[in-house]
Amino acid sequence: MTGRGFLWATPGEAWGFRDESGEPVFVFGDTVYNLFGMAYCGVDVVPFLRRRAAQGFNVLRCRIPMSLYHPPEGFNQWMDRRIWAWGGSETMPLFDRFNLDYFAVVDRVMREIEALGFWVELIMEGWGFEFPFNDRQRFLPEWEELWMTYLIARYDAFTCVASWTPLNEYEYYPDGLFRHTPVADRWALRISRWIKRVAQHGHLVTAHNGPRLPPFAERFATDPGAVDAIMFQDWGTRDEHDGWLAAGIEDQIGKSLAGWTGSAVLAEWGYEVNPDLPLLIPAHKYCDADHTRRGAWRGTFCGLGIVHGFDNSWGMHAILDRDLPGLVDLLHLRHFFTELVPFADLRPAPDLIDGGDFPFGSRPLALATPDRETVAVYLPTGGEVCLRPPAPSPRKGRWFDPRHGTFAQPAEPDDGTYAAPHRGEQQRPWDWVLVLSCA
């Protein structure tokens, strides 16, 4: 894999992103928040990075300061040495000094990422519920600017930097409480503009959300150009009964990104659980491979690139030599969009779906090229879909199987209605993708 230069935001074009040569970028990423910390504790991350590169991933979400713990039981299982990015300690911090041993390891991993041609979203401050980001009486604005200046000076020249994200789930600012406030919005705009002034290479500045509402166009209305892209989080359903459906993601995307004029990525819809590991984060319990797959297809059928994450590697665990089942489903999705259809030309086309009564989580989603030469319809639970005629020209229809990554059989309409193949259990019918192209 070779580098493609900087990543540029191109709102309204090519799903929002192009590389430096102008080629459209299908954002296809993985979340490995503690990658640098794992390497610092002696975990060999290079084989993992090389495997992800071979699988076609092009973006990693990584935090520079380490998360030591995530409630309720999320202590890092791999941590065998103290990780603190500054001088002093958590109880007596010296924010004017930096842990050079730790940053030497970050340097090494960044060089490997650069050589492999990945982009990496560098998260400058981790969750706001952890120290020092939850204590703005000690982590003063002067210390924050010194910290960010140091990171920019050290890493801004790397081509592999996709973006600077000031704070993961930025609404935790300033006191570590999870809720939306106008104060957090003002901070996000101010610090994003400050990063753009200080970071001279012009990398993107992105915002990652916790709360989904109010819409980002409303939140950032006073300076909409300060943030280049939203790394959007919504998990859809994740309960025992409907977790497999990942239902509602597309609806929330429509509400949260309504009127937003920047770019966006579905950067988080859960972390696929490994049932063989202790359940340290109960919210992941029903995020299985079905949730992974359906969430990904729902996001892409909103015209967004995707970044997922897996229990093995996102945070608490460092099982970097084994992939979970949903990974294969994501590779099939990537194959579909980058090799079988012209993804950069496809746009959401809800007007093609005829009829409005569908069971919960089952409403089909449509994409189409502007000339309607290519139409794709995702059926989250199979079944039937009636399409309004996309164009007068003859159509060749095929059913794509998201579980196996192949076209299963031709799709023949019956009075404008297409019926997906019958497979799967009654409780969990298979999802299918209908592809129509001009004959």
Please, what is the average pLDDT of the chain?
Answer: 95
Query: What is the reported pLDDT for 101?
Result: 97
Average pLDDT over residues 42-61: 98
Q: Which of 316, 168, 309, 334 is nearest to 235 (CA)?
A: 309
| β-strand partners of 367 | 348, 376
Query: What is the reported pLDDT for 1?
Result: 42
Same domain, 257 and 373: no
Whether residue 391 lies inside any domain: the answer is yes
Same domain, 221 and 187: yes
Same domain, 255 and 115: yes
Q: Number of structural domains, the chain?
A: 2
CATH number reported for the structural domain that contains residue 166 in this entry: 3.20.20.80
In the listed set 344, 376, 402, which residue is the last one of a domain according to the structure?
A: 344
Same domain, 312 and 383: no
Same domain, 158 and 98: yes
Same domain, 411 and 286: no
Whether residue 1 lies inside any domain: the answer is no
Q: What is the pLDDT of residues 242-278, one digit of tens each?
A: 999 999 999 999 999 999 999 999 999 999 999 999 9
Q: What share of the chain is helix, strand, coil (3-state, %, to 5)?
A: 25, 25, 50
In the listed set 344, 365, 382, which residue is the last one of a domain according to the structure?
A: 344
Average pLDDT over residues 169-174: 97
Burial 61-89 (b: 16+ CB within 10 A, else e): bbbbbbbbbbeeebebebbeeebbbbeee
DSSP state, residue 402: T
CA distances from 278 to 74, 238, 239, 269, 384 (A): 10, 18, 18, 21, 40
Tokens of 8: 């540029």
Query: What is the reported pLDDT for 12?
Result: 94
Average pLDDT over residues 219-229: 97
Average pLDDT over residues 54-69: 95
Rg (CA), the chain: 22
CA distances from 13 to 344, 351, 436 (A): 7, 20, 22
Q: Which of 199, 100, 206, 108 is nearest to 157 (CA)?
A: 199
Same domain, 227 and 284: yes
Whether residue 2 lies inside any domain: the answer is no
Average pLDDT over residues 174-198: 97
Element (H, E) at 377: strand 374-379
Whether residue 82 lies inside any domain: the answer is yes
CA 33 to CA 316: how far, in whole Å? 9
Query: What is the reported pLDDT for 424?
Result: 67
Same domain, 73 and 155: yes
Query: What is the reported pLDDT for 64?
Result: 97
DSSP state, residue 66: P
CA 115 to CA 112: how far, in whole Å? 5
Whether residue 136 lies inside any domain: the answer is yes
CA 252 to CA 257: how far, in whole Å? 8
Q: Which of 64-68, 268-272, 311-315 has the lowest mean pLDDT?
A: 64-68
Same domain, 105 and 170: yes
Q: Which of 336, 265, 335 is nearest to 305 (CA)?
A: 265
Phi, psi of 231 (to 5 degrees): -90, 90
| β-strand partners of 375 | 368, 436
Average pLDDT over residues 321-344: 98
CA distances from 56 to 2, 109, 302 (A): 11, 19, 21
Q: What is the pLDDT of residues 390-401, one digit of tens each?
A: 665 667 999 999
CATH number reported for the structural domain that contains residue 391 in this entry: 2.60.40
Same domain, 29 and 134: yes
- DSSP one-letter string for 112-165: HHHHHT-EEEEEEE--TTSTTTT-TTTS-HHHHHHHHHHHHHHHTT-TTEEEEE
- Please state, for a pLDDT cut of 90, what percent of the chain lies above it: 90
Write down the pTM of the prediction: 0.96
Q: What is the pLDDT of residues 420-430, one digit of tens each?
A: 998 767 789 99
Same domain, 322 and 350: no
Query: What is the reported pLDDT for 316?
Result: 93
CA 245 to CA 380: how far, in whole Å? 8
Q: What is the pLDDT of residues 281-301, one digit of tens each?
A: 999 999 999 999 999 999 999
Peptide bond into 174 cis (omega under 30): yes
> Can you give the residue range of the structural domain that contains 374?
346-438
Q: Are 304 and 317 in contact (CB under 8 A)?
A: no
In the listed set 286, 315, 344, which residue is the last one of a domain according to the structure?
A: 344
Phi, psi of 184 (to 5 degrees): -65, -40
Average pLDDT over residues 80-106: 96
Query: What is the reported pLDDT for 439?
Result: 61
Same domain, 330 and 350: no
Q: Are 398 and 410 in contact (CB under 8 A)?
A: yes
> For the chain, what's the residue count?
439
Average pLDDT over residues 373-390: 92
Average pLDDT over residues 58-80: 92
Tokens of 178: 């999870």
The pLDDT of residue 52 is above 80: yes
Q: Could you identify the residue written with the tokens 């592809």?
A: 435
